[in-house]
């Protein structure tokens, strides 16, 4: 279990995290979503005791991180895969971690095998690793102590599509066995397929949170017709919110209401379905538009 209660961090007159409250339950993967600079990493650093909060508090397994005995045996953390000693080999990094945590050296071989780093790769200096290899090593280090909780900040950066699929399967299996996972990303699709719960943050404040099913159910309906532009006008006349989707229109209404309106006006429907991930992405972009570098169309 991870809890954040009224978590706030100010740097002078700038508020990086503003009154954030949420929890991450055992047996779930919680996706922590937001644009770059939204406050995700600052929240995670406060959870791990690396950045003191201005106000509020966080606990992991019911205690502040600093109060956990031998914390690596309870919480696995990956905040920055590039922040590893470039002069050491991957095996040396894991061996040192095992020594600090009081683990048997055999655990190092288990983790190298788990994350797919070969004997040759583990013997290379980290300065010669690709970003994807550093991510795999970072995940191995996070899992080294067989922790109950994982806190991972952008772990998919640098991984190829096969690596991302591998990571998703690994984390899904970890949660299914009762583990607690907090997984941050600025890209919705990276974690949509693995997350059970979502927390969306923008400008340091939570703008949406809940189960993935709940948020996807509230994300609208996708509709395609033989004349989308004309039907968009009809929908707007009916007081419905309409935006252009990758294929058709995204409407904030139930499919039955849209289908009834189409029948009333003799509109030929090509597709009508709950928006699902497309609507969730659109909702994410709209909710975090003020914090994004790119403009979001209204």
Window from 2-6, 52-56, 223-227, 251-255 with minimum mean pLDDT: 251-255
pLDDT value, residue 226: 93
Q: How many residues does the chain have?
A: 298
pLDDT value, residue 287: 65
Residue range 142-157: average pLDDT? 93
Window from 24-28, 47-51, 92-96, 154-158 with minimum mean pLDDT: 154-158
pLDDT tens string 30-39: 999 888 888 9
pLDDT value, residue 17: 96
Distance CA(100)–CA(172), nearest Å, equals: 28
276 with 218: CB under 8 angstroms? no
The dihedral formed by the CA atoms of 285, 291, 294 and 298, expressed in degrees to the nearest 10: 50
Backbone angles phi, psi at 208, to 5 degrees: -165, 145
Q: 279 to each of 34, 108, 271, how far by Cα in Å?
A: 16, 43, 15
pLDDT value, residue 288: 66
pLDDT tens string 194-206: 899 999 898 899 9
Question: Domain segments of the chain: what residues?
Answer: 2-210, 220-274
* Architecture of the domain defined by 2-210: 3-Layer(aba) Sandwich (3.40)
């Amino acid at each position: 279990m991870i809890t954040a209660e009224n978590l706030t961090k100010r740097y002078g007159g700038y508020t990086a995290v503003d009154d954030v409250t949420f929890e991450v339950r055992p047996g779930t993967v919680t996706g922590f979503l937001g644009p770059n600079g939204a406050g995700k990493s600052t929240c995670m650093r406060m959870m791990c005791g690396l950045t003191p909060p201005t106000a509020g508090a966080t606990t992991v397994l019911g205690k502040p991180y600093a109060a956990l005995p031998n914390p690596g045996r309870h919480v696995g953390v990956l905040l920055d895969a590039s922040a590893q000693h470039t002069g050491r080999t991957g095996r040396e990094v894991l061996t040192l971690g095992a020594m600090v945590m009081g683990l048997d050296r055999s655990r190092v071989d288990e983790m190298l095998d788990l994350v797919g780093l070969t004997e040759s790769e583990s013997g290379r200096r980290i300065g010669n690793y690709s970003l994807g290899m550093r991510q795999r090593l970072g995940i191995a280090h996070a899992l080294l102590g067989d922790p109950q909780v994982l806190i991972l900040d952008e772990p998919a950066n640098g991984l190829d599509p096969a690596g991302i699929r591998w990571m998703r399967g690994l984390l899904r299996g970890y949660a299914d066995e009762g583990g607690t996972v907090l997984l941050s990303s600025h890209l919705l699709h990276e974690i949509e397929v693995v997350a059970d719960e979502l927390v969306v943050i923008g400008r340091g404040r939570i703008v949406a949170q809940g189960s993935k099913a709940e948020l996807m159910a509230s994300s609208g309906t996708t509709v395609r017709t033989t004349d989308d532009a004309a039907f968009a006008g009809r929908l707007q006349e009916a007081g419905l919110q309409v935006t252009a989707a990758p294929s058709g229109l995204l409407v904030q209404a139930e499919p039955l209401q849209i289908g009834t309106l189409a029948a009333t006006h003799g509109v030929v429907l090509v597709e009508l379905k709950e928006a699902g991930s497309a609507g969730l992405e659109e909702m994410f972009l709209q909710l975090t538009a003020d914090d994004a570098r790119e403009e979001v169309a209204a």
